[in-house]
Each structure stands twice: as C-alpha cells, then as structure tokens.
C-alpha cells in the first residue's frame, strides 16, 4: 500500500463521539471557511479524555474567509498558526488555524520549520470534513509530513538502523528544534505507543521521499551510504532549524498573548504536565503576558523544563 493510501485509511479511523462533536463545533464557528478539522497529539491515545486538553488543527479555505480583514487574519498570515482555546460538552481543547495552502506548505519539505510536519508524521484523525474534496486535500497534505521528517533525518542516522530507532531519532531531532516542555524519552514513547504503525509506514514514507531502502528484519538498510560531507551538511541544517525553531516558538508565544485567552496560564499548565515542573503564574504576569512569558524563560531553562 502506498503512503497516501495508508494516511487516508488512518485519517478515516473513527474517533470518540465527543471528539467528533467538538470538531464539528469548532468548524461551526467558521461556517464559510472551515474545510477540515484534524485531531492529533497525545490525547489520540487516551481512552478517558476528561481533564485533558485535546489538540486540533482547523484547516480553512483562507484567513479572510475565517476572520475577515482584521488583526487575526493578518497575524495568521504573518506567523501561522493562530491558536485558540475551546470548550464543548465538558471537554477542553485548543485548535490551531491554517489555510489549506499553508497546511500543505508547512507539512512538507518546503519549510525548514518542523512544527507541522513533525506532528503529522505521527497518527492523526480527520474528525470533521466539509466534503470529499476537503478530505482528499487533507490526506494529500498529511502524506507529505512523514517523507519530510525522514528526508531531514536521513543524514543524522547510520546507513543501517533499526526501524524504531529511525523514528525515535527523527522525533528527538524535531523536539530539539522547538522550545519543548517534554520529559526525556518522549520521542521513544511516541514510537512505543504504536510501533507496528511506524513499521508499516517506514518503506512507503521513504519511497515517497525518494530514499531507496530495504527492510531486513527489524532494520532499515539504506541503499546508498552517505558521504561525510552530506552528513556535515545535514548537521548544519539541523543546527539552523534549532536556532530558527526556538526563535519562532518565542515569536508564536508572544503572538498568542494577543490571540489566545489565558495563554500564559496554558503555557504554565503545559510545562507542568509535560516536564513535571511546578510553575505558578503571578498576577502581574497575567496583566503583561508577553513580559511574563519572557520572565519565565530563564527559570525554565535553568530547571531544564524547556529545552
């Protein structure tokens, strides 16, 4: 089965009825713009959703249709995505907004930034869709993510590597290219949650990336060994991704203080949940959230809560 068929089948797998209802409610906020709603992230693997924050991407036709001509449309074009909190039927969530064009671009090797292709190389579900055309467009965009990830990862792994190790190294590299509040070993836990899925996706994703390889037992054997110069170039590119990615994360956090209600409290919640920290937000940080987030950063770095 080719990669797009695997992705389409995975996206079509059913979700919890409450997830589907929430996705429909998110789409209903944007009746003339909503094209699809994708459910992704750690909650995808959870049976009990109470008390968790669900993660969605809302894909829209364009930002003007979604927001009109004001600040939100400009901010989403300038520094995608915009992120918003949402509550429905006792569940809480956040959803990120991307246009169909931006989703396709950011899910692919056309961008150095890892944030979209790293997430959609992992399992996701199409929780709501406007029509068959939107469904096909979403599957086509998501199908770009795993090839982008493995293309970027290839210079950083041996010419022969275990399947699990290939994906673990890939996700570890992407976590290092953002300011992430994740415990050590998070990349391994992502793969361990569904190792058979990653084994099924490996050869089709490599083929879609134009990388010739064979599966021998539980290992990937790449057909062409990489030269030292190719590996050095790959390492330099990852160093650039790390610099740019951390700066972009800070810029998005700053933007979120103008688009995400309670953004600094969400930031603290996420750090405490994923990194095991004990961050408390003071009243002045809520009044001036950009300065508050900046003031948190040195303490978080010193504690190792973000990297």
- Given a cut of 60, is residue 289 above it in pLDDT? no
More confident position, 14 or 248: 14
| 251 confidence band (pLDDT: 50, 70, 90) | confident
Instruction: State in words which class domain 3-144 has.
Output: alpha beta
- Given a cut of 80, is residue 183 above it in pLDDT? no
More confident position, 27 or 291: 27
What percent of the chain stands above pLDDT 70? Answer: 81
pLDDT in tens, 5-39: 999 999 999 999 999 999 999 999 999 999 999 99
What crossing angle do the helices spanning 195-208 and 163-176 adopt, rounded to 10°? 80
Q: What's the pLDDT score for residue 252?
A: 80
| 278 confidence band (pLDDT: 50, 70, 90) | low
Q: Where are the domains of the chain?
A: 3-144, 147-236, 242-303
More confident position, 1 or 142: 142
Return the minimum-mean-pLDDT range out of 78-87, 213-222, 271-280.
271-280
Separation CA 110–CA 92 (nearest Å): 33
pTM: 0.86
Average model confidence (pLDDT) across the chain: 88
| 272 confidence band (pLDDT: 50, 70, 90) | low
- Given a cut of 70, is residue 210 above it in pLDDT? yes
Same fold, 3-144 and 147-236: no
Residues 232-247: what's their mean pLDDT? 95
- CATH 2.60.120 at 147-236, yes or no: no
Q: How many CA atoms lie within 13 A of 265 on its CB side?
A: 10
Residues 228-233: what's their mean pLDDT? 98
């Amino acid at each position: 089965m080719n990669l797009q068929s695997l992705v389409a089948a995975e996206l079509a797998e059913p979700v919890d009825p409450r997830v589907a209802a929430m996705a429909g409610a998110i789409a209903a906020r944007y009746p003339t713009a909503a094209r699809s709603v994708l459910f992704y992230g750690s909650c995808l693997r959870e049976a009990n959703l109470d008390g968790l924050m669900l993660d969605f991407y809302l894909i829209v036709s364009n930002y003007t249709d979604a927001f009109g001509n004001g600040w939100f449309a400009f901010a989403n074009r300038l520094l995608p995505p915009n992120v918003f909190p949402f509550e429905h039927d006792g569940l809480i969530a956040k959803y990120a907004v991307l246009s169909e064009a931006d989703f396709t671009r950011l899910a692919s090797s056309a961008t150095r930034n890892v944030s979209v292709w790293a997430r959609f190389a992992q399992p996701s579900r199409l929780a709501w869709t406007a029509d068959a055309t939107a469904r096909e467009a979403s599957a086509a965009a998501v199908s770009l993510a795993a090839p982008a990830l493995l293309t970027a990862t290839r210079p950083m792994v041996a010419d022969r590597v275990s399947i699990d190790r290939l994906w673990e190294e890939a996700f570890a590299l992407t976590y290092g290219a953002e300011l992430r509040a994740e415990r050590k070993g998070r990349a391994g836990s992502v793969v361990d949650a569904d190792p058979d899925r990653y084994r099924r996706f490996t050869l089709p994703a490599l083929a879609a990336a134009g990388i010739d390889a064979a599966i021998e037992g539980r290992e990937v054997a790449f057909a062409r060994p990489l030269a030292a110069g190719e590996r050095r170039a790959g390492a330099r590119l990852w160093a650039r991704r790390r610099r740019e990615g951390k700066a972009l994360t800070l810029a998005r956090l700053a933007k979120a203080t103008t688009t995400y209600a309670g953004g600094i409290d969400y930031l603290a919640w996420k750090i405490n949940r994923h990194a095991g920290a004990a961050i408390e937000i003071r009243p002045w940080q809520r009044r001036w959230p950009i300065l508050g987030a900046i003031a948190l950063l040195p303490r978080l770095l010193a504690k190792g809560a973000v990297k």
